[in-house]
Structure 1
Amino acid sequence: MSEPATVIHMDDGKAPVAAPAAASSYATAPAHATSTTSSAAPRMTRNGLPFLLRSGADGFRRCLAVIDFLLRVAAFGPTLAAAISTGTADERLSVFTQFFQFHARFDDFPAFTFFMVGNAIAAGYLVLSLPFSVVGILRPKATGVRLFLLVCDVVMMLLLTAAGAAAAAIVYVAHWGNRRANWVPICMQFHGFCQRTSGAVVATFLAVLVFIVLILMAACAIRRRLH
């Protein structure tokens, strides 16, 4: 048997042909890994967004609709409390004997009657508007529903502002009186009556602020829909 031939490679000073290809593959590997990492980062950021904001403009309008619903529920409490507090404002003050009494009741002042009715109407409207607000959550592109609520919110805000301003004027006179008209303050004697009516006025103006926020949010959502 003949022994296998021995092959001796001579180094002629030239680099192997396969070496550049291997080097280039190693050079391109980190770049590929970097591109994979960079493409995965936006995907993770996009998936990490809240559910309401994943769909762009629709998600923004849906988020506003959720806040709208919560604000309506929050505004229902002050308006109902103001109506009940004013309607139950009744205090009697006995002087000398039980047969000689001073009486302070909300319906003695037409402004307080208007104030109580306005708050009751606003409270009922807030309850009736909740289904329409839910429609805005389920259908963010429903511009007609938002426009309807916007018009009604403006009307309710004006009603509460007028009622609150009228009641605030009576409360101011009850607390401080008017020297030029010789009107004496009555809150020194009728403490419970003044506390109820004053708290009702504050609650009404809080509801007015909520309505202002609702109007601005609805206008913003409708503007984004039209554009």
Structure 2
Amino acid sequence: MINVCIINPERKQLITELTSELKNAGFFCSSCPTYNDDTVAKVLGNNTDAVLISIDSRYANQGWTLAHTIKEENEIPVIPLLTLESLDGIDSDLKLDDFVLEPWNGPEVVARLQRVLTKADRKHSDNVIRYADLLIDLDSCEVWVDDKLMSLTYKEYELLKFLIGSPGRVFDRDTILNKVWGHDYFGGDRTVDVHIRRLRSKIEDSRHTFIDTIRNIGYRFKKDL
């Protein structure tokens, strides 16, 4: 069972409501009423899978410090529960997994928890290919860029998987055609160009360029990103 710790220094009613909602969704919940070193020890000692931490303007500094400490000592997902006032002091260095803005809605908190936990599972899975901001989940055949799920066709997925398997290596169109489409494919090699173009349009943007065109030869997946 997934263990979620709720850290809240003064809103007991919030803890009660969230605990009920999370238990109904199948989570095990523990709670900490303070921001201190004992809280960190409890979080790390209870095999906690995720942390919900309430941060309001009164305790903002202590809350952000505690969130930093938890992230540094154990890479578990941390989701701050923020008020409008504390949103102004959001810590950009923390690399938040997500956050929830007041008024907190139980189903929304559950949905965000499930999302970040799924992301954490992918991050630590052995059956994924990771390259910069691109991740291929070989179990689910999903491709993610910047934590966004890409909608690829089967051939686009197979093409990407083939190219990323040998970063820096240049493949001519015939080789790509044979490896991805098979030796029995009778279409022209320009189908490779079409699929590369479609693949790029989905996984690349102004910040991400994964595939190089090698003029008069073919394509390669970038070695250094």
Judge same fold: TM > 0.5, yes or no. Answer: no
Structure number with greater CO (CA < 8 Å, separation at least 6) is 1
Task: Give me the TM-score of the superposition, normalised by structure 1.
Answer: 0.21
Q: Calculate the TM-score normalised by the size of structure 2.
A: 0.22
More helix by share: 1
